[in-house]
């Protein structure tokens, strides 16, 4: 395989580990835990994995371990650093006993069910150290939730003598990891299940998990691109750039990119919901800033739009909630089958309540159609397919024309998502991911199941990072999904009273009026630590 000079240099990078993981460890156990909500219900669903203590690894004594076979799955959307989780896990299980083996299941959780796997040997692992992407074994969105799937899984796990399975995924995948851990514990199958917090969206975080991996690199990649666009628009001074950013429901990516680049406008979905803004309110907000800048002779600017914004406009949120119920079968809670998109739309129009039908008809046809289309396997609206950046700029243009303001308004559109999900991990993500994977091996050696691998204190130098595990049930509550109440990990949305949003809110008027662009430039891997090893501004502000 031909490699670039950077790839070759990067392959030689040795990710840093917390001091506690550099030698033999002992597991220090905290007090029993509770779920974040619906305690009685979650306890009833997870009798074997509920209430476990938080674990912190501290220096321990050298012990001899038998070889262990471990399986690994990459689940859901790609996020920079996945290969380092796997290489950290590989090095970790080999350090437990050099005869241990690591198997990767191909193309996500489906690989476990369909018995598609490969052994990950040292040669293979070495090809992928510090690289972006999930291509070492591929990823997928098959939802692991049915007993038949768990039973198919145990067949192959037994065949390969796998005693522990590591599932690298976001909130939905880790929810499924916990359900699997509980099932195997209940059945006494002798297979441990450990999760790892992945997602560029940054919404898998809480008191125990500082950040999900990939968020750092993805935001830095998008911020580089936004900075480049800002230079361009500050050079020609003739376009407004409407930039939609991935992130599904939460606006963490948009907020972080705003903190890094200081655009003229950044919408935050959580604020739109809190202020009960309508689509027209959002359009008015943007148009007023465009007009004010135009009055000063500045017919250019940047608008950052979180991809999930449409779901947070209260009237549309109500519409989506009803659509979610309508589009799933009340008996099976599986998505209803339709022969065509037309048939689906017809069904929706016939059954929707009058208020929500009016709301649906108010939306441009393409958006209305998108909201009615199939959900992803976890029941989420596929917001990445909705062209909100075009919708908003169209509506802003119309309003400005009607109100005879900003006659020189011209828009360009961008959607940044896939550009950042497989970028080569920043030093932060390279170290964080390697540590998460290595740490997962220590949770396995400690005999734990139903835990997520956690690394904390990550704004400090890596040696001072704190490693351990948190019971997945601790992060759970009951939510409505696909027309049924389900135990799920609570998604972390942007907190409007949190330091990152407060900083943004205190500066946005100035950024809107004046041109205060920051140009972060590309991620640097080699050079001074203040250039190469900074965590996200979100994390810095949260931990300040």
Task: For the chain, report the end-to-end CA distance as a whole number of angstroms.
Answer: 44
- For ligand FBP, which residue of 201, 270, 359, 389 counts as binding (CB under 6 A)? 201
Choices 89-97, 175-183, 194-202, 394-402; region in contact with ligand FBP by CB under 6 A: 194-202
Interactions with ligand FBP, residue window 290-309 (CB under 6 A): 307
What distance in Å separates the CA atoms of residue 483 and residue 500, rounded to the nearest whole number? 34
The nearer residue to ligand FBP, 86 or 156, going by C-beta atoms, is 86
- For ligand FBP, which residue of 246, 372, 424, 494 counts as binding (CB under 6 A)? 246
The nearer residue to ligand FBP, 15 or 417, going by C-beta atoms, is 417
How many CB atoms sit inside 10 A of residue 157's CB?
24
CB of 494 to ligand FBP, least distance (A): 14
The nearer residue to ligand FBP, 18 or 170, going by C-beta atoms, is 170
The nearer residue to ligand FBP, 180 or 246, going by C-beta atoms, is 246
CB of 528 to ligand FBP, least distance (A): 31
Is residue 201 among the annotated active site residues? Answer: yes
Interactions with ligand FBP, residue window 476-535 (CB under 6 A): none
Choices 74-82, 366-374, 437-445, 492-500; region in contact with ligand FBP by CB under 6 A: 74-82
The nearer residue to ligand FBP, 80 or 450, going by C-beta atoms, is 80
Burial class (CB within 10 angstroms; exposed 0-12, middle 13-18, buried 19+) of 98: exposed
The nearer residue to ligand FBP, 170 or 263, going by C-beta atoms, is 170
Burial class (CB within 10 angstroms; exposed 0-12, middle 13-18, buried 19+) of 361: exposed
What distance in Å separates the CA atoms of residue 239 and residue 413, rounded to the nearest whole number? 10
CB of 531 to ligand FBP, least distance (A): 27
- For ligand FBP, which residue of 18, 71, 77, 104 counts as binding (CB under 6 A)? 77
Residue with tokens 């009960």: 276
How many CB atoms sit inside 10 A of residue 364's CB?
13
Choices 124-132, 151-159, 240-248, 433-441; region in contact with ligand FBP by CB under 6 A: 240-248
Q: Which of 167, 162, 161, 197 is nearest to 179 (CA)?
A: 167
In DSSP terms, 69 is beta-bridged to: 101, 162
Q: Please name the helix (run of DSSP H) or strand (run of DSSP E) that holds residue 31, with its range, or none.
A: strand 25-32
Instruction: Kindly state the DSSP code that residue 20 receives in the 8-state scheme.
Output: G
Residue 286, interface with ligand FBP (CB under 6 A)? no
Choices 245-253, 268-276, 323-331, 530-538; region in contact with ligand FBP by CB under 6 A: 245-253
Q: Report CA dihedral (230, 234, 236, 237) to the nearest 10 degrees.
A: 110
Tell me if residue 475 falls in helix, strand or coil: helix
CB of 305 to ligand FBP, least distance (A): 13
Interactions with ligand FBP, residue window 384-443 (CB under 6 A): 384, 417, 421
CB of 421 to ligand FBP, least distance (A): 6
What distance in Å separates the CA atoms of residue 544 and residue 539, rounded to the nearest whole number? 8
- For ligand FBP, which residue of 120, 156, 177, 200 counts as binding (CB under 6 A)? 200
Interactions with ligand FBP, residue window 351-390 (CB under 6 A): 383-384
CB of 92 to ligand FBP, least distance (A): 23
Q: How far is the CA of 496 from the CAs of 261, 275, 289, in angstroms?
A: 20, 11, 22
Cβ–Cβ under 8 Å, residues 472 and 454: no
Q: Which of 132, 173, 160, 185 is nearest to 67 (CA)?
A: 160
The nearer residue to ligand FBP, 176 or 230, going by C-beta atoms, is 176
Q: Show the tokens assigned to 355.
A: 């208020």
The nearer residue to ligand FBP, 156 or 383, going by C-beta atoms, is 383
Cβ–Cβ under 8 Å, residues 262 and 517: yes
Q: Show the tokens assigned to 356.
A: 């929500």
CB of 384 to ligand FBP, least distance (A): 4
- For ligand FBP, which residue of 80, 247, 263, 500 counts as binding (CB under 6 A)? 247
The nearer residue to ligand FBP, 56 or 256, going by C-beta atoms, is 256
The nearer residue to ligand FBP, 417 or 483, going by C-beta atoms, is 417
Cβ–Cβ under 8 Å, residues 477 and 488: yes
Strands 192-197 and 301-306: unpaired
Residue 76, interface with ligand FBP (CB under 6 A)? yes
- For ligand FBP, which residue of 10, 16, 248, 486 counts as binding (CB under 6 A)? 248
Number of residues binding to ligand FBP, judged by CB under 6 A = 15
How many CB atoms sit inside 10 A of residue 203's CB?
24
- Please report how the helices 279-295 and 388-402 are oriented relative to each other, as an axis angle in degrees rounded to 10: 60
What distance in Å separates the CA atoms of residue 428 and residue 374, rounded to the nearest whole number? 36
Cβ–Cβ under 8 Å, residues 84 and 129: yes
What distance in Å separates the CA atoms of residue 464 and residue 466, rounded to the nearest whole number? 6
Among the options 171, 172, 201, 429, which is catalytic?
201
Give the x-and-dash track for 78-117 against ligand FBP (CB under 6 A).
-x--------------------------------------
- For ligand FBP, which residue of 100, 174, 199, 344 counts as binding (CB under 6 A)? 199
DSSP H helices, 446-536, are 499-513, 529-532
Choices 197-205, 288-296, 322-330, 535-543; region in contact with ligand FBP by CB under 6 A: 197-205
- For ligand FBP, which residue of 51, 132, 170, 195 counts as binding (CB under 6 A)? 170
Q: Which residues are part of the catalytic machinery?
A: 201
The site for ligand FBP (CB under 6 A) is made up of: 76-77, 79, 170, 199-201, 246-248, 307, 383-384, 417, 421
């Amino acid at each position: 395989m031909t490699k670039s000079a950077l790839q070759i240099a990067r392959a030689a990078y040795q990710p840093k580990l917390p001091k506690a993981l550099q030698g033999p460890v002992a597991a220090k156990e905290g007090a029993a835990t509770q779920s974040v909500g619906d305690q009685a219900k979650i306890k009833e669903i997870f009798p074997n994995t509920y209430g476990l203590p938080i674990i912190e690894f501290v220096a321990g004594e050298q012990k001899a371990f038998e070889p262990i076979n471990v399986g690994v799955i990459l689940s859901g959307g790609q996020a920079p650093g996945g290969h380092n989780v796997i290489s950290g896990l590989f090095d970790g299980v080999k350090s437990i006993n050099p005869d241990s083996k690591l198997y990767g299941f191909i193309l996500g959780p489906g690989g476990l069910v369909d018995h598609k796997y490969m052994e990950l040997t040292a040669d293979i692992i070495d090809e992928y150290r510090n690289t972006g992407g999930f291509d070492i074994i591929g990823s997928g969105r098959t939802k692991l939730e049915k007993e038949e799937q768990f039973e198919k899984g145990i067949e192959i796990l037994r065949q390969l003598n796998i005693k522990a399975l590591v599932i690298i995924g976001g909130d939905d995948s880790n929810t499924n990891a916990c359900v699997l851990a509980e099932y195997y514990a209940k059945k006494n199958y002798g297979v441990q299940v450990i999760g790892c917090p992945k997602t560029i969206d940054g919404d898998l975080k809480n008191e125990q998990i500082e950040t999900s991996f990939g968020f750092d690199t993805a935001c830095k990649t998008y911020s580089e691109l936004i900075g480049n666009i800002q230079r361009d628009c500050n050079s020609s001074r003739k376009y407004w750039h409407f930039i939609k950013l991935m992130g599904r429901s939460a606006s963490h990516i948009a907020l972080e990119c705003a903190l890094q680049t200081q655009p003229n406008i950044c919408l935050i979905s959580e604020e739109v919901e809190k202020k009960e803004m309508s689509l027209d309110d959002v359009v008015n907000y943007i148009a007023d800033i465009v007009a004010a800048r135009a009055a000063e002779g500045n017919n250019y600017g940047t608008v950052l739009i979180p991809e999930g914004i449409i779901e947070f406009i209260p009237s549309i949120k109500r519409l989506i909630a009803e659509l979610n119920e309508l589009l799933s079968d009340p008996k099976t809670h599986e998505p209803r089958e339709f022969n065509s998109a037309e048939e689906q739309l017809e069904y929706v129009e016939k059954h929707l309540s009058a208020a929500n039908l009016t709301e649906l008809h108010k939306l441009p046809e393409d958006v209305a159609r998108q909201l009615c289309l199939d959900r992803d396997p976890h029941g989420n609206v596929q917001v990445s397919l909705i062209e909100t950046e075009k919708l908003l700029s169209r509506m802003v243009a119309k309003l400005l024309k009607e109100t005879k303001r900003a006659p020189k308004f011209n828009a360009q559109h961008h959607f940044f998502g896939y550009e950042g999900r497989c970028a080569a991990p920043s030093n932060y993500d390279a170290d964080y991911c390697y540590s998460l994977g290595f740490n997962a091996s220590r949770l396995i050696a400690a005999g734990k199941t139903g835990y997520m691998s956690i690394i904390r204190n990550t704004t400090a130098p890596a040696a001072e990072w704190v490693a351990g595990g948190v019971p997945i049930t601790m992060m759970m509550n009951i939510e409505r999904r696909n027309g049924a109440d389900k135990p799920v990990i609570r998604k972390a949305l942007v907190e409007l009273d949190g330091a990152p949003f407060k900083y943004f809110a205190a500066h946005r008027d100035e950024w809107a009026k004046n041109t205060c662009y920051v140009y972060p430039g590309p991620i640097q891997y080699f050079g001074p630590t203040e250039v190469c090893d900074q965590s996200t501004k979100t994390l810095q502000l949260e931990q300040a």
